[in-house]
Amino acid sequence: MKVGFLGFGEVASTLSGWFKDAGVEVYTSLENRSVKTQVLAEDCGVNTCKDNKTLAEISDILISAVTPAEAVNVAREVGKHVKGIYVDVNNISPGTAKEALGYIENGKTVDAAIIGGIKKEGIQVQIVASGSYAEQFSSLNQYGLNIKVISPDLGKAKTLKMLRSSYTKGVSALLFESLYLAYQMGLDEEFMKCLESTECPGFRESTLSRVKNSAYHAERKSQEMEEVLKFIEDYSKLELTDEDECLSMIKATGEFFKYISNKIELDEKPNYKELFESFKSKN
Ligand SMILES: NC(=O)c1ccc[n+]([C@@H]2O[C@H](COP(=O)([O-])OP(=O)(O)OC[C@H]3O[C@@H](n4cnc5c(N)ncnc54)[C@H](OP(=O)(O)O)[C@@H]3O)[C@@H](O)[C@H]2O)c1
């Protein structure tokens, strides 16, 4: 079994480690990739192809794990060359996924979505999949993956992911802003204790992780929110009568991540106090 990765970032490097241990041959291409990606791929000891087209030709399962903004471009680039099954795991709207998967000429496509953070949850992270080739993709469960096929219809997995993203990113945006305000007022510790007393166990840890990740992955999250907004726009055209009234929270979340991604660029995850200090200095 040969599994190819288009893009070799957090998703590909995490999954490829497990695949290799299970005896799966893992491939990627480093043509035109950044130094960061090249170092990651070398550290993982992954096999390399000279370009994405060759990668598409040799892979039994080709997984697109690029960035949301590149999902269509990369599908267009390899579309004619895919021989096996093409799986898109990018956080993109069902409409964008339809456009990307439409370029895969053999039609063996899977719409998939990673539910949760892969770094934190590892191989057991839940992956939902839909489309008529989703069952074949789920054969990777024999190597320890946790793929759940939810529908034979393309688009259902991305739809579920968009709904989840609008919720999780909305909560992260609200926590970031509330804690930032509390920090500026010298009440951050008391604020955390106050929330912890009524919220669920593990609340502090998950809040700090959400705040740091909101800043560290701001660019990617902003792109993901663009996709959520696109999804809502597409849906509104079909079903909703008054989009503006119904969806103000989700739109505000999109604006929040766009703002943060323009303000902050981090090479490593700082603690929240350092993060807020650097944020304050840029305001
Ligand atoms: N990380 C997660 O836990 C998670 C969870 C759910 C969904 N996702 C989705 O999964 C996808 C990948 O996420 P990630 O966290 O692995 O992202 P990442 O760490 O930012 O890595 C993205 C990778 O894609 C490469 N890339 C960009 N454009 C490309 C192109 N045209 N051709 C080939 N490679 C290209 C990047 O290379 P360069 O360094 O050269 O730019 C980098 O290696 C995203 O769409 C994200 O929304 C991620």
Evaluated on CA atoms 157, 206, 249, 228, the torsion sign reads negative
For residue 36, what are the domain limits?
Answer: 2-153
- Residues 136 and 201 reside in one and the same domain: no
What pLDDT, on the 0 to 100 scale, is given for residue 241? 60
Q: How far is CA 46 from the centre of its chain?
A: 21
CATH of the domain at 237: 1.10.1040.10
Q: Please say which residue of 153, 180, 203 terminates a domain.
A: 153
pTM score, whole prediction: 0.89
- Residues 38 and 73 reside in one and the same domain: yes
- Residues 88 and 165 reside in one and the same domain: no
- Residues 173 and 271 reside in one and the same domain: yes
- Residues 81 and 216 reside in one and the same domain: no
Nearest CA to ligand 1 atom 6: 114
Nearest CA to ligand 1 atom 36: 7
Q: Please say which residue of 130, 153, 176 terminates a domain.
A: 153
What pLDDT, on the 0 to 100 scale, is given for residue 246? 65
- Residues 68 and 6 reside in one and the same domain: yes
- Residues 277 and 186 reside in one and the same domain: yes
For 204-227, the pLDDT digits (tens) are 999 999 999 999 888 889 988 999
- Residues 147 and 163 reside in one and the same domain: no
Rounded-to-integer distance, Cα 74 and Cα 52, Å: 8
What pLDDT, on the 0 to 100 scale, is given for residue 142? 94
For 261-281, the pLDDT digits (tens) are 888 777 777 889 999 998 888
Work out how many domains the chain is built from and give that number. 2
What pLDDT, on the 0 to 100 scale, is given for residue 151? 97
Q: Which residues line ligand 1 (CB under 6 A)?
A: 6-12, 33-34, 36-37, 65-68, 70, 73-74, 89-91, 114, 117-119, 220, 224
- Residues 7 and 144 reside in one and the same domain: yes
What pLDDT, on the 0 to 100 scale, is given for residue 282? 76
Rounded-to-integer distance, Cα 172 and Cα 162, Å: 15
- Residues 7 and 146 reside in one and the same domain: yes
CA of 9 to the centre of ligand 1 (A): 5
Evaluated on CA atoms 261, 262, 265, 271, the torsion sign reads negative
- Residues 169 and 148 reside in one and the same domain: no
Q: Please say which residue of 153, 178, 199 terminates a domain.
A: 153
Give me the residues of the chain with pLDDT under 50, please: none
- Residues 47 and 182 reside in one and the same domain: no
